[in-house]
Structure 1
Amino acid sequence: MSSSQNALTSETSPYLLQHADNPVQWYPWGEEALQLAHETGKPILLSIGYSACHWCHVMAHESFEHDDPRALMNERFINIKVDREERPDLDKIYQTAHQLLTNRPGGWPLTMFLTHDAQVPFFGGTYFPREPRYGMPSFADILNQVADFYRDNRSDIDKQNTPLLDALEKINTPHLYSSGSNEITIETLDQAYRELKKSIEPEHGGFGRAPKFPHCTSLERLLRHWSATGDNEALESATFTLRKMALGGLFDHLGGGFCRYSVDNQWMIPHFEKMLYDNGPLLSIYSEAWQITHEPLFRRTAEETARWVIREMQSPEGGYFSTLDADSEGHEGIFYVWHPETIKEVLETEQYELFSRHFGLDRKANFEGSWHLHCYADDETLSKEFMLDIDSVRQQLDGARETLFRLREHRVHPGRDEKVLTAWNGLMIKGMAVAGRIFDNSAFIDSAERALNFIRHNLWKDGRLFASHKDGQARLMGYLDDYAFLLDALLELLQVRWSRNDLDFAIALADVLLEHFEDKENGGFFFTADDHEALIQRPKPLGDESTPAGNGIAAYALNRLGQLLGEERYLNAARRTLDAAAPMISEMPHRHNALLLDVESSVYPSQMLVLRGNEEELRSWQQLVARQYSPRRLAFPIPSDETNLPGALAERTLRGDFTAYLCSGNACSSPITAKGALATLKQQLDTPD
């Protein structure tokens, strides 16, 4: 290893490799670094970030590549760099600890200072500037003060750490410390809706003020609340926000896909990084919004997002890559922005005028002297102003966008993090399966199957999942989200194209969840397996974060798989998860939307439809079921030649040419074979709830 390199050079994470040439003596989290801290007595400086993180890059350039901070870091600390996408277990623990220590939310970069022997945090923050500004001291001053305090006040630090560790433990078992019955009823769902409704920003949609994130689980809750109750205000709240996001600068109007968040209330200027974990759920939501409303905007947004993923985020081997960076050529957003003169040169005069009015090129620059595309006039407005029919407007705009997309392709593209993360792939596989089913698009379904095959062949080894794949290596034992999100995706994909191998894979994932992740004493699921590295906490995440809570998706998926197979073990595990989470759900239901999916299943009867017949007959039924948004209905088309099915499915045999089995809640009807009964069932399924 050269003098300019550190211990990160052998890592596969693009984020860690970005720091391999730092003059800081970085180590990855592992035995070597932890043992060195123990031997030297130096506190640990833990820095957590990810490759597409703009402020991570800023702090690296300001502090990790300059002499003053670098010398102090190397002299007084053992420095550990962590990719939060590879080690979400560490990120969850230390983000929670940061919030407990500072009473403020965390973020990235996360900068935490840990004891040398037990890795317990005693001080921390996020971004620290190299020079004093933003009301913060310089990073060098922070380093000196922390090191001096650690040297002189170990007993005080140990006293502080005891209540911190107690608080971390209590987070995992809220039901042991709560008072009251914490009963979950239909009122819990209604309360969640009321809280979400209060937080909706009336002018531009979204939840709260800037910075604005999509909050996919909240949007899904609004759609499901409308489906269950018929409350049109819930539907309007969701579709209003979805329109604003799709028309705003959060969406890439040339290439498809959404950026991570908007820095303003109008959804105009995003933080330009694109994350797979946002776009998978957004693909599902926009597809379902079209299924409800048939608004062309929703279909176009969903289809362009899916095509972007297939084109730019799917590896030749099938797995989906993780992120696109916010920066290119050293500047944030430069890949996406324009100047009117450039666009005038490549569009016809009438086409340019239409495009300019639509995307605000006739207004002042909106991003650092450049124009980032944001819709100011919708298709109907343009039709009236330019005296063109709607179809002509759309054709002109589509042609202009295609021209500019081809021109943009010649620019230097943002960096791409080519890790394949199992959990995030699960979210996108589900999104592709939902979009493929609703739009009857085989390319989307093929994409999902290719990603699933990649995971099965590269990240499923000896009956266990790995979390990350890069450069031909599968690394890090899988976490709760890996199993839960992939199981959820498999149940969606099985409704599109039946595969016995996929069903067996789903059962295997469910069994690992119960064997290695379930808290058999208190209920729920830990984030790490029982044979995972021992850390200061074994998290049990209940609340939604940037992705849905693993406990919520695990309970929801196990409940549905349990109903399909008649498997009580899965149903009981789901029920125990809700019991364990009840105090947190009751206190803030709108922060636990993933868990509310299973709450909804216990309050409103779900519907399970198993169809047996030939391929042509099954396809016609699939098309029928896809017409209607029915989030509590599962429909599994099983070919007539499929035999030796497990559990309750063994009883769902073919009787005659075609057979339908319908269960609602815990009650199942007799097999439906008579043409008259089938016709009645078809009419029922084709009628809105």
Structure 2
Amino acid sequence: MSMNRLAESTSPYLQQHADNPVHWQLWDDEALELARQQDKPILLSIGYSACHWCHVMAHESFEDEETAALMNELFINIKVDREERPDLDKIYLSAHQLLTQRPGGWPLTVFLMPGDQVPFFAGTYFPRESRYGMPPFKDVLASIANAYREQRHDIEGQNRAFMEAMSSLNPQTPVTDTNLEAAPLESARQQLARSFDETHGGFGQAPKFPLPTSLQRILRHWAATRISGRDDPRALYVADYSLTRMALGGFNDQLDGGFYRYSVDDQWMIPHFEKMLYDNGPLLTLYTDLWQATGKALFQETAIKTADWVIREMQSPEGGYYSTLDADSEGEEGLFYLWSPEEVKGLLERDEYQHLAAYYGLDREANFEGRWHLHNFTSIAELNQRLDSSSDQAHGLLSSAREKLFKARGDRIRPGRDEKILTAWNALMIKGMARAGRVLNKPEYTASADRALGFIRSSLWHEGRLLATHKDGKSALPAYLDDYAFLIDALLELLQTRWNRSDLDFALELTEVLLTHFQDGECGGFYFTADDHEALIHRPKPLGDDAIPSGNGIAAHALNRLGHLLGEPRYLETAEGTLKAAWDHLSQVPHAHCALLEALEEQLHPPEIIIIRGSGADLEQWSVRAAQQLAPRRLALSIPTPETDLPTLLDKDHQGDITGAYICSGTTCEPTISDFEQFDQRLSESKCTPPTEQERAFTGSAGSFKRHRE
């Protein structure tokens, strides 16, 4: 079997294409020079290993000898894993938007000039034969090659205009007189409320993505209203109802835990079946927070199932978290997760089957290509009425039935797993595990986060800089803004779960690299790539959230917290400058910048910082109390008495062996509290306590809250 250059890569996605008849190249100097020497345009194909339509295009076109021969004759063909090279992905996704005036996706197919890699035509999936209103891929290839030969002058003129448009994507001028104020926070709440799906939860219509950053914004808004005495139960309802429907629907793996990529319908019933680490980390954080806000068992159970799935299926023996599970197995999308009623009947007792079939829709018509995907169709109360069972009986029968199906499913051929370890995505999961470990009292989750952090420090931190990816014992590629920002944020979360001085020192090292190599010192904010990164046609400064939160937003939020914690004006000034640089974007479309809004909120209302010093059971008691309430603006660190030589605020008014706490907001610190009852009373004054039973029963226009608590 002949192999192309992709066999040299450790990327599972690129390796999937190593035996294609296409003469695939890696994105490197060798390939770019080859395009210049042969004066051939570059066909750039960007995708990822769990992408269903990437597989479809590969089977239809890249494995086809005739199509491959045409590609090899007319183009220099370069394949890129978007997860390893998000810099290229961001640039050429933006190019697709500018060239086609519509959002892009994957597979992303872009044709570039050979001399400077400026794109002149872009698309996504192209079919082998004409369908979906799209021309055959071979016709596209011939047309592009002909245009390159016959219309070179026109293309070069288009490219000049294109580069001017690309340069305008970043804020261009220093912003010094902007007055940061709260209007975007309220505007975002209103925009998200307008797009809320009253019937099924979530935002907008199919395809529906979970948008955890948007839901986190709504939940933080609710928490802020409770603190201020202007409680907004509607905001809590939006978050509660959305996450209830996601948890109970086919969007969530009802047997094993873990969320899929997105729902193809409004009901959260049928997903695209790939599971991505970067979705599950923020969703773990969000379900943990919502359990703390409401006390609902469903949210606690969902967080636990998600975390357990990650540890069981996605954590490497060395500690790092793997990236994705494929949508396909045995060449079919979702096959691993689908059932037939006959198969399920053969595995369950009669009562188990009756309850499971009614609850998950096996007694209805097939919901996915002649098969059944488990999705909640009824409440426990309705199930009890229909089958004359009690709630305890129904829960028990459903639990035992799920266990049997889970065991049987384990004998099937599993979806492929992309086992590369990405620093940024690991940081998102470290944060989720740390939060869940602290709030749910699950030390095994904290231990999982520690193992992942240890892997990053041993394998992805080299000579004072982060690397972005690790696979097969090899770490590679200079890290991006998200790697640094997300990891600093995760370290702050982990420090709240258990104190470790070396983690604080590591966070400060990362912060200095961020300021030195990524900051735009003139206009504010952070570039996605470092100042010594490979030169590309554009240096993005991403401000808006996409599937993951904005690196600029997370950086500003983390810097603001570190600045207050350590009394470091540089950090505070940089966080403020980032918000000012993004102000036009925040003002115009605030709901698309929820990570930056989180930073804005704490810029306007500095975090409440609690430093607890003590030892043994007393320190544990005080720590548990500080983590008892949902308080998004709170940063609480519990530092054992023996720790010395701590920076500034962390060692303020230390009273030796006496357990005590001091609380600061902004530049104002309260007297040290050394009495636990007084400490408990002081924290109770925040009003950020779980709602009462009456408040939980709040009814929105979608119907009774109580029904969905079952």
TM range (shorter): over 0.9
Structure 2 partner of 1:301:
302
Aligned to 1:109, which of 107, 110, 113?
107
| C-alpha distance 57-187 of structure 1, shift in aligned 2 (>3 A) | same
> Cα offset for 1:671?
2.1
Structure 1 partner of 2:627:
626
Deviations 1:381-421 (A, max 9, x none): 22333333322221211111111100000000000000000
The CA distance in 1 between the partners of 2:683 and 2:179, in whole Å, is 37
> Cα offset for 1:666?
2.5
Task: For residue 583 of structure 2, give the secondary structure of its aligned residue in structure 1.
Answer: helix
Structure 1 partner of 2:671:
670
Equivalent position amino acid for 1:52 in 2: A
Equivalent position amino acid for 2:549 in 1: P
Equivalent position amino acid for 1:108 in 2: W
| C-alpha distance 610-370 of structure 1, shift in aligned 2 (>3 A) | same
Structure 2 partner of 1:406:
407
Deviations 1:168-216 (A, max 9, x none): 111111556x9x9864422210000000001111110111110000011
Equivalent position amino acid for 1:503 in 2: L
> Cα offset for 1:685?
5.8
Task: For residue 48 of structure 1, give the secondary structure of its aligned residue in structure 2.
Answer: strand
Structure 2 partner of 1:66:
64
Q: Does 1:153 align with 2:147?
A: no
Aligned to 2:185, which of 185, 189, 202?
189
> Cα offset for 1:651?
2.9
Contact 1:556/1:595, CA 8 A, preserved across alignment: yes
Deviations 1:341-389 (A, max 9, x none): 1111121111110111110111011111111000011223223333333
Equivalent position amino acid for 1:337 in 2: L
Aligned to 1:41, which of 25, 39, 42?
39
Identity over aligned pairs, percent: 58
Task: For residue 582 of structure 2, give the secondary structure of its aligned residue in structure 1.
Answer: helix
The CA distance in 1 between the partners of 2:25 and 2:654, in whole Å, is 58
Q: Does 1:540 align with 2:551?
A: no
The CA distance in 2 between the partners of 1:683 and 1:141, in whole Å, is 68
The CA distance in 1 between the partners of 2:663 and 2:142, in whole Å, is 68
Equivalent position amino acid for 1:187 in 2: A
The CA distance in 2 between the partners of 1:255 and 1:520, in whole Å, is 47
Q: Does 1:582 align with 2:583?
A: yes
Unmatched 5+ stretches in structure 2: 226-230, 691-710
| C-alpha distance 687-324 of structure 1, shift in aligned 2 (>3 A) | closer
Would you say how many aligned residue pairs link Structure 1 and Structure 2?
685
Q: Does 1:207 align with 2:203?
A: yes
| C-alpha distance 644-537 of structure 1, shift in aligned 2 (>3 A) | same
> Cα offset for 1:681?
2.5
Structure 2 partner of 1:389:
390
TM-score when normalising by structure 2: 0.94
Deviations 1:227-250 (A, max 9, x none): 112211111011111011111100
Equivalent position amino acid for 2:335 in 1: I
The CA distance in 1 between the partners of 2:218 and 2:686, in whole Å, is 22
Report which stretch shifted further, 230-239 or 421-430: 230-239
Q: Does 1:57 align with 2:55?
A: yes
Structure 2 partner of 1:130:
128
Structure 1 partner of 2:660:
659
Report which stretch shifted further, 351-360 or 150-159: 150-159
Deviations 1:423-482 (A, max 9, x none): 000000001111111101011111011000000000001110000000000010100000
The CA distance in 1 between the partners of 2:382 and 2:549, in whole Å, is 37
Structure 2 partner of 1:82:
80
> Cα offset for 1:141?
0.7
Q: Does 1:451 align with 2:431?
A: no
| C-alpha distance 353-679 of structure 1, shift in aligned 2 (>3 A) | closer
Task: For residue 312 of structure 2, give the secondary structure of its aligned residue in structure 1.
Answer: helix
The CA distance in 2 between the partners of 1:15 and 1:331, in whole Å, is 17
> Cα offset for 1:494?
0.3
The CA distance in 2 between the partners of 1:680 and 1:254, in whole Å, is 42
Equivalent position amino acid for 1:578 in 2: L
Unmatched 5+ stretches in structure 1: none
The CA distance in 2 between the partners of 1:416 and 1:458, in whole Å, is 20
Contact 1:175/1:582, CA 8 A, preserved across alignment: no
Equivalent position amino acid for 2:371 in 1: S
Q: Does 1:164 align with 2:162?
A: yes
The CA distance in 2 between the partners of 1:612 and 1:619, in whole Å, is 10
Structure 2 partner of 1:430:
431
Contact 1:174/1:583, CA 8 A, preserved across alignment: no
The CA distance in 2 between the partners of 1:207 and 1:679, in whole Å, is 38
> Cα offset for 1:39?
0.7
> Cα offset for 1:677?
4.0
Structure 1 partner of 2:512:
511
Aligned pairs (5 A) from 1:214-233: 214-229=210-225, 230-233=231-234
> Cα offset for 1:686?
7.7
Equivalent position amino acid for 1:193 in 2: R
The CA distance in 2 between the partners of 1:587 and 1:95, in whole Å, is 22
| C-alpha distance 622-75 of structure 1, shift in aligned 2 (>3 A) | same
> Cα offset for 1:675?
5.8
Structure 2 partner of 1:313:
314
> Cα offset for 1:625?
2.3
> Cα offset for 1:286?
0.6
Structure 1 partner of 2:699:
none
Q: Does 1:254 align with 2:255?
A: yes
Task: For residue 475 of structure 2, give the secondary structure of its aligned residue in structure 1.
Answer: strand
Contact 2:556/2:574, CA 8 A, preserved across alignment: yes
Equivalent position amino acid for 2:130 in 1: P
Task: For residue 27 of structure 1, give the secondary structure of its aligned residue in structure 2.
Answer: coil
Report which stretch shifted further, 665-674 or 497-506: 665-674
The CA distance in 2 between the partners of 1:16 and 1:675, in whole Å, is 57
The CA distance in 1 between the partners of 2:207 and 2:56, in whole Å, is 19
| C-alpha distance 687-125 of structure 1, shift in aligned 2 (>3 A) | closer
> Cα offset for 1:589?
0.3
> Cα offset for 1:485?
0.6
Task: For residue 28 of structure 1, give the secondary structure of its aligned residue in structure 2.
Answer: coil
Contact 2:612/2:623, CA 8 A, preserved across alignment: no
The CA distance in 2 between the partners of 1:303 and 1:393, in whole Å, is 21
| C-alpha distance 516-612 of structure 1, shift in aligned 2 (>3 A) | same
The CA distance in 2 between the partners of 1:286 and 1:198, in whole Å, is 23
The CA distance in 1 between the partners of 2:279 and 2:157, in whole Å, is 40
Structure 1 partner of 2:6:
8
Structure 1 partner of 2:702:
none
Contact 1:656/1:673, CA 8 A, preserved across alignment: no
The CA distance in 1 between the partners of 2:651 and 2:437, in whole Å, is 28
Task: For residue 98 of structure 2, give the secondary structure of its aligned residue in structure 1.
Answer: helix
Task: For residue 468 of structure 1, give the secondary structure of its aligned residue in structure 2.
Answer: strand
The CA distance in 2 between the partners of 1:621 and 1:687, in whole Å, is 17
Structure 2 partner of 1:290:
291
Aligned to 1:118, which of 99, 116, 119?
116
Structure 2 partner of 1:595:
596
The CA distance in 2 between the partners of 1:111 and 1:105, in whole Å, is 13
The CA distance in 1 between the partners of 2:239 and 2:218, in whole Å, is 6
TM-score when normalising by structure 1: 0.97
The CA distance in 1 between the partners of 2:680 and 2:405, in whole Å, is 50
| C-alpha distance 683-138 of structure 1, shift in aligned 2 (>3 A) | closer
The CA distance in 1 between the partners of 2:462 and 2:633, in whole Å, is 33
> Cα offset for 1:616?
1.4
